[in-house]
Amino acid sequence: MSKSSLSDTGATMVAPGAPTHQRARRRSKRLKAWFPYLLVAPAVLYLMLITLYPGVYAVIQSFHQVKFGPWQPVGLANYARLFQDHQFWGAIWNTLVIGSFSLVLQCVLALAVAFYAYRDPWVKGWRIIFLVPMLFMPSAVAFIYKLSFLDARVFADLLMRVGLIDGNIAYQSSIWMSRGILILADVWQWTPFLFIIFVAALQGQDEEVEEAARLDGASWYAIFWNISLPMMKPVIAVALILRAIDITTMFTNVFIITKGGPAFGTETISYFIYRTGFKFFDFGYASSASVVMLVITVIVAQLVVKRAFISARS
């Protein structure tokens, strides 16, 4: 058997002309079929290392009690505890409340400012000015707001000077005012992100359609509502999704400005995971929260993000 197969290969190797050629070509064809996979593989493997590996790790860890000592298998105990944990549900609620207020405000403001800016002859200059907040490190922005609201109380002082309030404001004792500071900091820093995208979309629209509508007597507001806005829908969807991803993972501002307080009223999901894992070293429990978030992320990605990105391209 082995002898004959050996001699077979020997024969083909020695035989000149057509057969070798064909085989080589077949091999290069097979290589060609694999070539695109080879190109994309390193990136995919690298990303798996930071998504798939941690995902599996978190799932396994979530079935264990991991506190200082060795891992103790505890079955579903972490999840049972998680679903009864008011702080966990509170963190989800806070994330949704802070996130949706912040997202809606940013979107409306960015659309309004873009509407007034895109036809202006100095739109390039406005764009540079409006971009500035986005280019500060988020940790620096958090300190700007911590200082002006809490430590130096500039905001309250300014309100007092115009006579809107007398005395100080105790933000830290009010859940809604603390949330308000987080929302304001996010709106201030990230409205520019949406603005830049919206202005580009408005500038990219078909000028002839605009012109025709204007000659028919349509006002700029009517054109914006009836022509520009429907045209921008896919772009708005993509921009809002990107923003929503970052808002729902909000951490830096919470960490620096409110530390989740008062009464856990500003604790976001990211801060909850950080606090249980890296403050209480209850890693198994924190991992169960991570897994729940992971499942939600995957579902939302499949249902919403995929559709939005595909429709933005076509």
Stretch that binds another protein, among 2-10, 48-56, 67-75, 100-108 (CB under 8 A): 48-56
User: Does 93 engage in binding with another protein (CB under 8 A)?
Assistant: no
Alpha-carbon dihedral sign for residues 220, 223, 229, 235: negative
Which of 123, 292, 238, 258 lies closest to 186, judged by CA?
Answer: 258
User: Does 228 engage in binding with another protein (CB under 8 A)?
Assistant: no
Out of 143, 169, 227, 231, point to the residue binding another protein (CB under 8 A): 143
- How many residues touch another protein under the rule CB under 8 A: the total is 102
- The identity of residue 185, as a single letter, is A
Q: Are 67 and 277 in contact (CB under 8 A)?
A: no
**Residue number with CB closer to another protein (23 or 279):** 279
User: Does 40 engage in binding with another protein (CB under 8 A)?
Assistant: yes
User: Does 286 engage in binding with another protein (CB under 8 A)?
Assistant: yes
User: Does 231 engage in binding with another protein (CB under 8 A)?
Assistant: no
Residues 161-220 that bind another protein (CB under 8 A): 188, 192-193, 196-197, 199-201, 203-204, 214, 219-220
Quote the least distance from Cβ 79 to another protein, whole Å.
16
**Residue number with CB closer to another protein (11 or 259):** 259
Cα gap 228→222, rounded to integer Å: 9
What is the greatest pairwise CA distance in the chain?
102
Quote the least distance from Cβ 167 to another protein, whole Å.
13
Cα gap 28→303, rounded to integer Å: 40
User: Does 258 engage in binding with another protein (CB under 8 A)?
Assistant: no
Tokens 């005012």 appear where? 177
Stretch that binds another protein, among 9-17, 82-90, 98-106, 285-293 (CB under 8 A): 285-293
Stretch that binds another protein, among 80-88, 100-108, 170-178, 264-272 (CB under 8 A): 264-272
Q: What is the DSSP string of 48-115?
A: HHHHHHHHHHHHHHHTEE-SSSS-EE-TTHHHHHHHT-HHHHHHHHHHHHHHHHHHHHHHHHHHHHHH
Count CA atoms within 13 Å of residue 287 on its CB side.
22
Stretch that binds another protein, among 7-15, 77-85, 144-152, 257-265 (CB under 8 A): 144-152
Quote the least distance from Cβ 3 to another protein, whole Å.
39
Quote the least distance from Cβ 44 to another protein, whole Å.
6
CA angle 223, 241, 193 (to 5 degrees): 70
**Residue number with CB closer to another protein (14 or 39):** 39
**Residue number with CB closer to another protein (84 or 151):** 151
Stretch that binds another protein, among 4-12, 17-25, 99-107, 300-308 (CB under 8 A): 300-308
Residues 6+ apart with CB under 8 A from 285: 78, 81, 82, 276
* Token couple for 68: 């200082």
* Token couple for 181: 């500071």
